[in-house]
Structure 1
Amino acid sequence: MNSPDRTVHKRHGRRVPLLYVVLSVLLVFGVLVSAGTGQLAIPPQEVLGSILHRIGIDWLPLPSVNAGDQALWAIRFPRVAMAVLVGIGLAVSGLVMQAIFGNPLAEPGVIGISSGAAVGAGISIVFGLTVFGEWTTAVLAFLTGLAATLVVYVMSRADGRTEVVTLVLTGIAVNAIGGAAIAGLTFVGDTQSREAIVFWQLGSLKGMGWTQVMIVTPIIAIGLIAAYLSGRKLDLLALGERNARHLGVNVELLRIGMILVVSLLVGAAVAFAGIISFVGLVIPHLMRMIMGPAHLPLITASALAGALLMTLADLAARTIVPMAELPIGILTALVGGPFFFWLLRRTRKRSGGWG
């Protein structure tokens, strides 16, 4: 007879690949629908036909509407690709943050890292900095996001653990400082700079092109690879710092490395898409509830689910209001805000209060 533990393990083993398949299929379908939605409506099979045609496969028809193929490759596909990349970056950064802080409330937007990164991006635009060429905005967003992460890390640690109340309060303070800095940049900037700063504060994928996609892709790839390489160590860290050290993990070095990874992912996302909160809070928790605590499968599932959520959020932003476009940050906050309240209450009950 199989033991109960072995039966549970088998069920879990079947659940993980099934979830990957479901998320992948939904993501592909979401990408096709999103790319085909707009003033020029293009059916999903024609969108897929355009993609296949570019790689030399003529199985499906090309877009039948005038200039449909050009619209897909010049406007629609870069935007959808950016939605996928931003979703991956925010979801995986949230998962990594929750692992290194050992706290379910850790998320780039909630504790101020996104606003910190937006300050760096705002400085780059307002003052027209070109120190790193096309990478200047992303690099400055990474540096200021890193600074915000380090502040949160140092301030919220006490006696070898991260305190929930201190984490939330530190996030409030960092968000307040970031908001003040963004307001100051809005004051000193010209009209174009002010519009760009407002864009960051609300979050949007409007106007994305292949240049931005090419800049963000390697950054997200590096962060994702680093997260995968650290997945086993994050599992050991979840057992407690003392146990992780006994098992050979350099805890502080792991945390510092993962803080760099989080700053890299968040900086890349915020530099072009603006502040989009709660993706890194909602997605890792939903995946953890389905799959369990192992980080290697969670990274893959969170990346797929984050990409799917951002693709659908961008589609909703473009279609909910006729002839207008809602900021994505508003939609994710409407979903993530109530989820955060529920999680806060759940965490409080589990810890027996904040005292």
Structure 2
Amino acid sequence: MRFGVAIGIGVGTVIVLALLSVAWGSTVIPLSDVLASFGVAGAPPSGPVGKIVVDLRLPRTLLAVCVGAGLGVVGALLQTVTRNDLADPFLFGLSSGAAAGAVSVITVFGDRLGIWTLPVAAFTGGMLAALLVLALVSRLRGQGPERLILAGLAVSFLFTALTNYLVFSGDQRAAHSVLFWTMGGLGLARWDNIGFAALGAGGIAGFALWNHRRLDAFLAGETTAESLGVPVARFRMAVFLAAAFATATLVALAGVIGFVGLMIPHLARRVAGPLHLRLTLACAVFGAALLLASDLIARTLLPPQELPIGIVTSSIGAFFVTVMLMRNRI
């Protein structure tokens, strides 16, 4: 009962925030015009209002939903298979690799593939980081979660150093674009690439739901999971690859957005419990709500400027971790 109520409130919050996200911006559009643009009430508004709603703000809102939901589920899976409450895409170098790929385009190589250059480069960087982590783990004795974490940290530091080098040695006129992208933003949202983000978010949610019993077995410990027929080491690598693919697709369009994958699983477990069938749904809904709210704050805090959304999520995340530490929860 409690779970159903919480999910219902969460879905309602997502809908309200989505409508506000479409209505608010440099030009405030009445909700009646927003609904009319969707064909819900009245005739579609004339002039540029309809195009602003449908072609600009609606794709951005959908991207926020996909990124928030996807990163929330990714964080839950990584925390489960590593048994580390602080695990998120940052910890494993996935975001750092994507950032390095994107920055290399902005500062050095340029838009050789047109509008798809930045997403493709970021996706390639994220997957390269994942492959490096797996290659490093395969060379180590044992493939436990602590090895995966240490390998991820090493790769994260490596790609962060590469990103900083590219920023320093590349075109200094692109520094502002680099800074905004590495802190996250939803400005790349368009109808022709929103399917890419939906693939990442839907793929990781589907993977979690399909394997929810295996993930639940991890909660009882690796020995118990093995006795229940779960190939622990192999399945952990499969989870990591699925998380890497989802993170790379999302970061490729939204930039590096921190703390979503860390915070959301902790919040979701309070209403959904530890079992992954409910937890996956809760993480997706709460993650979407968090990123929609963060994007609204980023767009309206310092008008007409738009803050990088990562500043908002990092601020919320710092407060969240502080509260958790004070309560001895992590």
With the shorter chain as reference, the TM-score category is: 0.7 to 0.9
CA distance in 2, matches of 1:156, 1:201: 31
- 1:225 counterpart residue number: 206
- The amino acid across from 1:140 in the alignment is T
State which structure, 1 or 2, has the greater radius of gyration over its C-alpha atoms. Answer: 1
The Cα of 1:121 is off from its aligned counterpart by 3.1
- 1:60 counterpart residue number: 41
The Cα of 1:79 is off from its aligned counterpart by 0.9
- 2:7 counterpart residue number: 20
Is 1:72 matched with 2:49?
no
- 1:136 counterpart residue number: 120
- 1:235 counterpart residue number: 216
Q: In 2 relative to 1, CA 74–281 (structure 1 residues): closer, same or farther, beyond 3 Å?
A: same
CA distance in 2, matches of 1:228, 1:89: 13
1:85-124 equivalences in 2 (<5 Å): 85-124=66-105
Check conservation: 1:33, 1:43, Cα contact below 8 A: no
Unpaired stretches in structure 2, ≥5 consecutive residues: none
The Cα of 1:228 is off from its aligned counterpart by 1.3
Q: Deviations over 1:268-323 (max 9, x none)?
A: 12112111110011111001022210111111110111111111111110001121
Question: Residue 325 of structure 1: which of 301, 306, 312 is its match?
Answer: 306
Q: Secondary structure at the match of 2:14?
A: helix
- 1:41 counterpart residue number: 28
1:165-244 equivalences in 2 (<5 Å): 167=149, 173-190=154-171, 194-244=175-225
Is 1:127 matched with 2:112?
no
Q: For the aligned residues, what is the CA RMSD?
A: 3.0
CA distance in 2, matches of 1:216, 1:140: 15
Q: Secondary structure at the match of 1:323?
A: coil
The Cα of 1:71 is off from its aligned counterpart by 0.7
Q: Deviations over 1:39-67 (max 9, x none)?
A: 3322234323322x2xxxxx512565742
CA distance in 2, matches of 1:26, 1:79: 17
Q: In 2 relative to 1, CA 161–112 (structure 1 residues): closer, same or farther, beyond 3 Å?
A: closer
CA distance in 2, matches of 1:276, 1:268: 13
Q: Secondary structure at the match of 1:100?
A: helix
Larger CA deviation: 224-233 vs 324-333: 224-233
The Cα of 1:141 is off from its aligned counterpart by 3.3
The Cα of 1:200 is off from its aligned counterpart by 2.3
Larger CA deviation: 32-41 vs 103-112: 103-112
CA distance in 1, matches of 2:325, 2:138: 22
Q: Secondary structure at the match of 2:84?
A: coil
- 1:10 counterpart residue number: none
- The amino acid across from 2:124 in the alignment is L
Question: Residue 233 of structure 2: which of 247, 252, 258 is its match?
Answer: 252
**TM-score, normalised relative to structure 2:** 0.87
The Cα of 1:74 is off from its aligned counterpart by 1.5
Identity %: 34
Q: How many residues align?
A: 326
CA distance in 1, matches of 2:36, 2:307: 29
Q: In 2 relative to 1, CA 149–238 (structure 1 residues): closer, same or farther, beyond 3 Å?
A: farther
- The amino acid across from 2:226 in the alignment is R
Check conservation: 1:45, 1:60, Cα contact below 8 A: yes
Q: Secondary structure at the match of 1:31?
A: helix
CA distance in 2, matches of 1:60, 1:36: 15
Is 1:266 matched with 2:247?
yes
- The amino acid across from 1:137 in the alignment is A
**TM-score, normalised relative to structure 1:** 0.81
The Cα of 1:256 is off from its aligned counterpart by 1.0
Check conservation: 2:123, 2:251, Cα contact below 8 A: no
- The amino acid across from 1:307 in the alignment is A
Is 1:339 matched with 2:323?
no
Larger CA deviation: 152-161 vs 107-116: 152-161
The Cα of 1:179 is off from its aligned counterpart by 2.1
Check conservation: 2:81, 2:145, Cα contact below 8 A: no
Check conservation: 1:149, 1:263, Cα contact below 8 A: no
CA distance in 1, matches of 2:72, 2:49: 32
CA distance in 1, matches of 2:139, 2:324: 22
